[in-house]
Chain A
Amino acid sequence: MTNTLIVLFFATLVLGVPVAFTMGIAGLVTLVTGTSLNPLVAAQRMFAGIDSFPLMAVPFFILASELMTACGLTNALLRFANALVGHVRGGLGHVNILVSMLFAGISGSALADAAGPSAIVMRMMREAGYDKNYAGALSAATATIGPIIPPSILAVIYAISTKGVTVAGLFLAGIVPGLLLGLSLAVANHVVSVRHDYRGRDNRADTGELVQSAWLALPALVMPAIILGGILLGVFTPTEAGAVASAYALLLGFLLRRFSLSGLYGAFVRAAVITSSVFLIVAMASIFAWMLTYLQIPQELAKAIASISQEKIVVLLILAAFTLVCGFFIDTLPALIILTPVLGPIAASAGIDPLQFGMMLVLNLTIGMITPPVGPVLFVISTVGRLKLEALSRAVIPLLLAELFVLLLVILVPGISTFVPNYFGFSN
Chain B
Amino acid sequence: METFEKLFVAANRALVAGVLALVFGIVFINVLGRYGFGSSFAWVEEAARHLMVLGAFCGAGLALREGRLVAITLLADMLPPRLSLALKWLIVVVMAGFMGVMTWLGIEFVAFGWPKETMSTGMPRGLPYVAIPLGCGLFLVHLALFARRFVANDFVTDGSQPEDSRESQA
Residues of A that sit less than 8 Å from B by CB: 12-21, 24-25, 28, 39-40, 42-44, 46-47, 50-53, 56, 59-60, 63, 66, 74-75, 115-116, 119-120, 123, 235-236, 239-240, 243-244, 246-247, 265-266, 268-277, 279-280, 283, 331, 373-374, 376, 380, 383-384
Contacts and interface: CB of A to CB of B under 8 A. Distances in A.
Interface centre among A119, A268, A373 (most CB of B within 10 A): A268
A197 B23 CA distance: 51
Given A51-B50, A236-B31, A59 B23 contact: yes
Contact of B48 (A56, A74, A244, A268): A56
A123 B106 CA distance: 46
Contact of A17 (B23, B94, B160, B161): B94
Given A16-B73, A47-B128, A276 B95 contact: no
Contacts of A244: 28, 31
Contacts of A243: 24, 27-28, 31
A280 B69 CA distance: 9
B105 A40 contact: yes
Main secondary structure of the interface of A (DSSP, over half): helix
B27 A373 contact: no
B20 A59 contact: yes
Given A56-B48, A115-B165, A270 B159 contact: yes
A406 B49 CA distance: 36
Contacts of B31: 236, 240, 243-244
Contact of A373 (B74, B87, B131): B74
A270 B16 CA distance: 9
Nearest to B29: A243
B87 A15 contact: yes
A345 B79 CA distance: 42
Nearest to A60: B24
Contact of B16 (A25, A269, A373): A269
A342 to B, nearest CB: 22
Contacts of A60: 24, 27
A115 B67 CA distance: 14
A40 B108 contact: yes
Contacts of B24: 60, 63, 243, 246-247
B19 interface: yes
Contacts of B98: 21, 24-25, 28
B71 A283 contact: no
What 3 A-B pairs are tightest by C-beta distance, nearest first?
A: A276-B59, A279-B56, A18-B69
Given A47-B128, A244-B28, A276-B60, A16 B76 contact: yes
A277 B69 contact: yes
Nearest to B65: A273
Contacts of B49: 51-53, 56
Nearest to A239: B27
A21 B94 contact: yes
B132 A16 contact: no
B20 A275 contact: yes
B68 interface: yes
Contact of B56 (A28, A75, A283, A383): A283
Given A50-B52, A53-B45, A269-B16, A17 B62 contact: no
